[in-house]
Structure 1
Amino acid sequence: MLLVLSLITLGFIALTIMVQLFPASAIDIKFSREVQEHQNHFIDQAMYLISIPGYIPGAPIMIGLTSLVLFMFKYKKAALYVLFTMLAGVVSTIFKAIVNRPRPSDTLVRIVFKTTQQSFPSGHVLFYVIFFGFLVMLMFQLENVNKTVRIIVGGISLLMIFLIPVSRIYLGAHWFTDVLGGFLLGLFCLYLLSWLYLRKRAGKKEAPVAEKQ
């Protein structure tokens, strides 16, 4: 695992250097034009809907409701750690300020939905990898969760993780290297959050408090 984390870190550093040297590379432009090749109103709306949970107030509401549901079912530790996924916004803002890469220009790609802040890394991808990735991990760890619920929550979470990069590029909000950077940084943060959640549990799955009494 240490090797994987090292590769993720090195990959993110290399990508950061690359986007500073080449703010609008030929690879990014080509990738955006390929993703945006087929356009219509339905796809525009679908791609926007995929991105909505990553905006404010959607993201904090989704995190809060998820944490509340877990708390109501007595998964108190899981509920607390879900709240920690809000820190993805802080991490994203810090790296955006450091790299200070401008958003894609409407002279190079089609801008479906105009956004603010800097471009690298993608805050949406970073957040989705951390939040939905953590939910996937919880579905494997929490006891007494219905199998159907595990499949539905896990499936939707994985789908959102893999659709959000396409959504951000299609909307003209990010370059390919932005979403790749968000994915790598998200994986690193997800590992850290999951490690903190699991490390004191000595390999035991969390059961509802009521079940333990």
Structure 2
Amino acid sequence: MLAAGFVALTAALVWWPPILDVDRAVRDWADAHRPHWLHTILVGFDLLGQRGIALPLVLVVAAVLSIRWRTPRPLALAVVAGAVNSVLIEVLKQWTSRGAPHHGSIAMFSGDPAVEYPSGHVSNGLVYYAVLAFLVAWPPVARAVLRWLPGVLVFVGTTYLGWHWLTDSVGGYLLGLLQVLLLTRLRWPHRETG
């Protein structure tokens, strides 16, 4: 259903113009209601989904656990999740060729050099922190917060800052959630609890 939702959203962006009006309205509202102090907080939210920050964190934690547990499986999980997420998002961004809210074309397949759909930051905010939540031996509530909160914060931050259209963030969330659900269905080793 998540894959079908992503395909439906992409089709709507091509063939149903009213959805572009929603993107413009959200961008314009956010531009008119963004005090400086909030801008700084939202940049912090967006950084949670920065691959250059999140992926090294996940790889270091996974490497430490691989050494501690004497198995390459935690590191393999992190590498596979990072590779799949990066390739999937980059291929789709290049293929859809959609600009950003403040520069480039709102239209899909425009040939725009800016490649914003789907949002990689939002997908990263789900996938990388879900891997961390899978590996760490924290209480269930803390792991649930780690798994779900960063994706939501990145979604809000990148959309509110006008760095992605609303639908870019929705697309990134759908793909990130799909990857998280697939990862949890694989037979990876569960975290060692002691």
Unaligned segments of structure 2, at least 5 residues: 106-112
1:90 counterpart (87, 93, 99): 87
Q: Is the 8 A contact 1:81 1:197 kept in 2?
A: no
Alignment of 1:162 onto 2:152: yes
Quick one: percent identity of the two aligned structures? 23
Deviation at 1:161, TM superposition (A): 1.5
Query: Which letter maps to 1:79?
Result: L
Matched residue, 2:170: 180
| Alignment map for 1:1-213 (pairs within 5 Å) | 7-21=1-15, 22=17, 25-74=20-69, 76=71, 77-87=73-83, 88-105=85-102, 117-138=114-135, 145-147=137-139, 151-198=141-188, 205-207=190-192
Q: Is the 8 A contact 1:23 1:101 kept in 2?
A: no
Deviation at 1:180, TM superposition (A): 0.7
Q: How many equivalent residue pairs?
A: 184
Unaligned segments of structure 1, at least 5 residues: 1-6, 109-115, 140-144
3-state SS, counterpart of residue 164 of structure 2: coil
Could you give the per-residue CA deviations for residues 39-83 of structure 1, whole angstroms, max 9, x where no partner exists?
222211111112224335323322222212322441742332022
| TM norm structure 1 | 0.73
Which one has the largest radius of gyration? 1
Structure 2 distance, partners of 1:51, 1:136, is 19
Structure 1 distance, partners of 2:175, 2:65, is 26
Q: Is the 8 A contact 2:46 2:153 kept in 1?
A: no
Query: Which letter maps to 1:15?
Result: L
